[in-house]
Chain A
Amino acid sequence: QKEVEQNSGPLSVPEGAIASLNCTYSDRGSQSFFWYRQYSGKSPELIMFIYSNGDKEDGRFTAQLNKASQYVSLLIRDSQPSDSATYLCAPLGQNFVFGPGTRLSVLP
């Protein structure tokens, strides 16, 4: 089993819809979970992080964490074409591990 798994996509959603990005991880020792956004040809930028079970909201973004299920997700409300990018999930356990990323395409 890979350490971090994400659906590679592309995930296509219409503008204004909710985009749901999912991530599963294998290291039960992971304490913090980060979501990064990477535009094509650019380096990743931090969107948000979460370390407690439940939901964490920041603007249009909501991160959801379920440590028992080893699952973390990112919801993007009112998706915009500018949200089109690759989203990387990164659990932090003993080491920092990036998932392969999910490519999101928001269609105008």
Chain B
Amino acid sequence: GAVVSQHPSWVICKSGTSVKIECRSLDFQATTMFWYRQFPKQSLMLMATSNEGSKATYEQGVEKDKFLINHASLTLSTLTVTSAHPEDSSFYICSASSGGVSNEQFFGPGTRLTVL
């Protein structure tokens, strides 16, 4: 199957700093990338959907000025958590889709963010 990578896999930062997470599709071109957040023992929560070259579409309740998403190429999307606070500590997962008939999403391994 298609491979999606994320970097870093684990990050610890101080409150007030910004953290950038990269999501790459390694062997296919991703027309659409998705960013999810998952708190312990809870389900996936879609944060935003991004298409290459256009602005991301954010889900209701997600602050677009706090969670900056850039999808500059068909293989790379970044999520920047600006001025991170302890409540932003979570598991952030990206997924990528190439479209096509089945249109399945392939997930990255996730990034665990801890804000002190």
Q: Give the contacting residue for B103; candidates A45, A92, A100; CB below 8 A.
A: A92
User: Given the complex, which residues of B lie within 8 Å of A46, measured CB to CB?
Assistant: 1, 104-107
A44 touches B43 (CB 8 A): no
Q: Is A60 an interface residue (CB 8 A)?
A: no
CB B109 to nearest CB in A, in angstroms, measures 5
Within 8 A of B (CB), among A6-62: 32, 34, 36, 41-46, 49, 51
CB B98 to nearest CB in A, in angstroms, measures 13
Quick one: closest B residue to A98, CB to CB?
A: B44
Interface size band for A: 20 to 34
User: Given the complex, which residues of B lie within 8 Å of A44, measured CB to CB?
Assistant: 44, 93, 95, 107
B105 touches A96 (CB 8 A): yes
User: Given the complex, which residues of B lie within 8 Å of A42, measured CB to CB?
Assistant: 109-110
User: Given the complex, which residues of A lie within 8 Å of B108, measured CB to CB?
Assistant: 43
Interface string of A85-108 (1 = CB under 8 A from B): 000101010011011110000000
Number of interface residues of B (CB under 8 A): 19
Q: Give the contacting residue for B102; candidates A43, A49, A90; CB below 8 A.
A: A49
User: Given the complex, which residues of A lie within 8 Å of B109, measured CB to CB?
Assistant: 42-43
Quick one: closest B residue to A50, CB to CB?
A: B102
Q: Is B35 an interface residue (CB 8 A)?
A: no
Quick one: closest A residue to B110, CB to CB?
A: A43
B34 touches A98 (CB 8 A): no
**A33→B44 CA distance, assembly (Å):** 17
A100 touches B43 (CB 8 A): yes
Quick one: closest B residue to A8, CB to CB?
A: B43
User: Given the complex, which residues of B lie within 8 Å of A100, measured CB to CB?
Assistant: 43
**A95→B107 CA distance, assembly (Å):** 17
Which residues of B are in contact with A by a Cβ distance under 8 Å?
A: 1, 34, 43-44, 46, 49, 91, 93, 95, 97, 102-110
